[in-house]
Amino acid sequence: MGENEFGIREGEVRTELPARFDASLYFIGRIRTPWKARKDCPKNARESEEVCTIEVDLRFVRALECVETCSHLIILYWMDRALRDIVVQVPAHYGKARGTFALRSPMRPNPIALSVVRLIGVEGNRLKVVGLDCLDGTPLLDIKPYFASTDSVPEAVVGWHAG
């Protein structure tokens, strides 16, 4: 059974992580959601129409100028409770071993999660958005405008998932 809240399952493979880190991050805000425990989070972000709040630290509030003109944003956040050394994992809802880079699991060498959200509005340092599935209090790393011209690929296929 699991070693931590995420668990290590039969068929999963760990690697030896590098001896030292190469770069560092600032937490630039917090994400406020209705979900206080992992079991309560939606399975994926399109499963919920819940409006969540992104609180940006005041020192970065001017970086939000013009963000209100964006219909959609890319949100990067930090999955700070995830194991980082799992290279092959067995997602509970599929039951088959997959490489970490073929999955959106929070367990990855750099646990940066990414969600595409619909922007409802901006008030000061707070953004109201739809499309998040993370725990309340999750650390924010970045906000980017979503450009359909480069970010949207409607025909994209994840073969192992479709099969």
Question: Interface residues for a copy of itself in 41-80 (CB under 8 A)?
Answer: 44-46, 56-57, 59-74, 76, 78, 80
Nearer residue to a copy of itself within complex by CB, 35 or 108: 108
**Could you say whether residue 92 binds a copy of itself (CB under 8 A)?**
no
**Could you say whether residue 145 binds a copy of itself (CB under 8 A)?**
yes
Measured distance CA(97)–CA(87) in Å, rounded = 10
Nearer residue to a copy of itself within complex by CB, 39 or 96: 96
Distance between first and last Cα of the chain:
28
Q: C-beta of 153: minimal distance to a copy of itself in Å?
A: 5
CB 50 within 8 A of CB 59: no
Burial (CB count <10 Å: 0-12, 13-18, 19+), residue 93: exposed
Count of residues binding a copy of itself (CB under 8 A)?
80
- Give the H or E element holding residue 149: helix 148-151
What DSSP designation does 112 have?
E
**Could you say whether residue 146 binds a copy of itself (CB under 8 A)?**
yes
Nearer residue to a copy of itself within complex by CB, 123 or 155: 155
